[in-house]
Amino acid sequence: MEAAGAEVLHLDVMDGHFVPNISFGVPVIEKLRPVSKLFFDTHLMIADPVKYAEPFIKAGGNLLTFHIEVTDAPMKVVEHIRGLGGRAGVSLNPGTEASALWPVIEVVDLVLVMSVWPGFGGQKFIPDALDKLRAIRPRLRPDQRLEVDGGIGPDTAPPVVRAGADTLVAGSAVFSGPDAGLRFRELERIALEAEQP
């Protein structure tokens, strides 16, 4: 993916508690780190991000994104991740109101809007995510990223970009066929074209 021009590798970590599936964890990221120069955007779909933040940072995660649904003290989670030397992102599920983010929105490096229910790949994009992106975008500074994850492909990339997303996560749209590099470049072109006024 580096050869295709990707800058960020989005890593979906699932614990089987917060989401009904298990993907991979620290050992896989440790193995990837020496073979990739990409920024590791580590999406922690886990119930206890504070407990596991340190091993994920030590394994090579550059940014850790936790879910707002798992904590009553999101500021503490952000401070904990920063204290370990990582950047901090916050995510919300389709069922969570954007306003749940307001207590930490000014201090995070990234907001990740889930446009499917987390836990499985290959799901269909939930259009409500567009309203959420539009509600969040005006509250972010230029140095903060607005990312969207779930069901992103050639059809959904333009509307999410127009709604304010600047970072798009694609899984199936890139990897579910031959020549992932070509699919990546095509999706990037479509997203950049949508950005034109």
Residues of this chain that interact with Zn ion (CB under 5 A) are 12, 43, 149
With CB atoms as reference, the residue minimizing the distance to Zn ion is 43
Least Å from the CB of residue 102 to Zn ion: 22
**Distance (Å, rounded) from C-alpha 67 to C-alpha 79?**
15
Q: Which is nearer to Zn ion, 42 or 71 (CB)?
A: 42
Q: Which is nearer to Zn ion, 83 or 95 (CB)?
A: 95
155 is catalytic: no
Q: Which is nearer to Zn ion, 110 or 163 (CB)?
A: 110
41 is catalytic: no
Q: Could you tell me if 121 and 155 are in contact, meaning their C-beta atoms sit under 8 angstroms apart?
A: no
Nearest to 91 by CA among 82, 101, 81, 99: 101
Least Å from the CB of residue 108 to Zn ion: 16
Least Å from the CB of residue 196 to Zn ion: 27
Identify the active-site residue in 109, 149, 155, 179: 149
Q: Which residues are catalytic?
A: 12, 149
